[in-house]
Structure 1
């Protein structure tokens, strides 16, 4: 099973750290492994660079994009996608300051959730600590000034 932690980072952070995603990932890893005193400092840093999840926008975006699918349903504010034909399942949960996606099987179901979130805001940053995967759901394009 794969577990993703998704934070909405502030626009200036997503712009300044494009191409340096490993630094953001490292901050979150240290937050998980640090002692209590250091963890409090890192949590403040994480709160500073991340914004509140726009719960209503996420809810409307998911329902608008996925309402016609037979394999999508909502139970107790958790969003489920079960693509039986492709043996792919995922559940998205909103925790206020972050979203989580737990997925199993093929990558189809989680990809659908990622696509909806990508359309809502370009600054979502996803991390899978167990497999050391991380990145933007919608990479911010760098502007080249001539």
Structure 2
């Protein structure tokens, strides 16, 4: 089964406010994918408002630095591929202006390697798997304790 993740960097203020209610983000991304016309334009603006632009160069540098020496890691035209455990776990990653796309197959080992790097890069990455209705933070946000 192929897993496809879209990773968005959520603005800190929204990430903190909607902690524990991540389904609302998921539903927004789901609505965007399913809509067209005026509704698609509205949801696109909403997504632009709650997400941060990615620091593309920083992400590329971090991936190269953290994974570049791993056997099974390849980089071609800005797309990264990891094949681990004799192709039992594969994942590709592409960095776009407003999201990171990861496609994975087999065991979770290869995609986890990408997730770990991205987790170190930024604190508010939200991963969304629309096909399997799965979503979550790469780095769980700690609830703020107000005394």
Q: TM-score range by the shorter chain?
A: over 0.9
| 8 A contact 1:126–1:134 mirrored in 2 | yes
Structure 1: distance between partners of 2:36 and 2:22: 24
Residue in 2 that maps onto 1:54? 55
Determine if the alignment matches structure 1 residue 100 to structure 2 residue 101. yes
TM-score (norm 2): 0.95
The CA RMSD measured in Å over matched residues stands at: 1.1
Q: Distance in 2 between matches of 1:35 and 1:96?
A: 21
3-state SS of paired residue (1:122): coil
**Structure 2: tracts of 5 or more residues without a match:** none
Separation in 1, partners of 2:58, 2:131: 29
SS in 1 for 2:116: helix
Aligned residues: 146
**Are the aligned partners of 2:56 and 2:96 in contact in 1 as well (CA < 8 Å)?**
no
1:22 aligns with 2:23: yes
Give CA deviations for 1:121-142 in whole Å, capped at 9, x if unaligned: 0111110011000011001111
Q: CA deviation at 1:57?
A: 1.1
Is the contact made by 1:86 and 1:108 (CA closer than 8 Å) also made in structure 2?
no
Q: What is the Cα deviation at residue 86 of structure 1? A: 6.4
Q: Does 1:129 align with 2:130?
A: yes
Separation in 2, partners of 1:24, 1:97: 15
1:70 corresponding residue in structure 2: 71
Q: Which runs of 5+ in 1 are unaligned?
A: none
Give the secondary-structure state (helix, strand or coil) at the position aligned to 1:104.
strand
* Secondary structure in 2 matching 1:52: coil
Q: Which runs of 4+ in 1 moved over 3 A?
A: none
Rounded Cα–Cα distance in structure 2 between residues aligned with 1:67 and 1:94: 16
Match of 1:116 in 2: 117
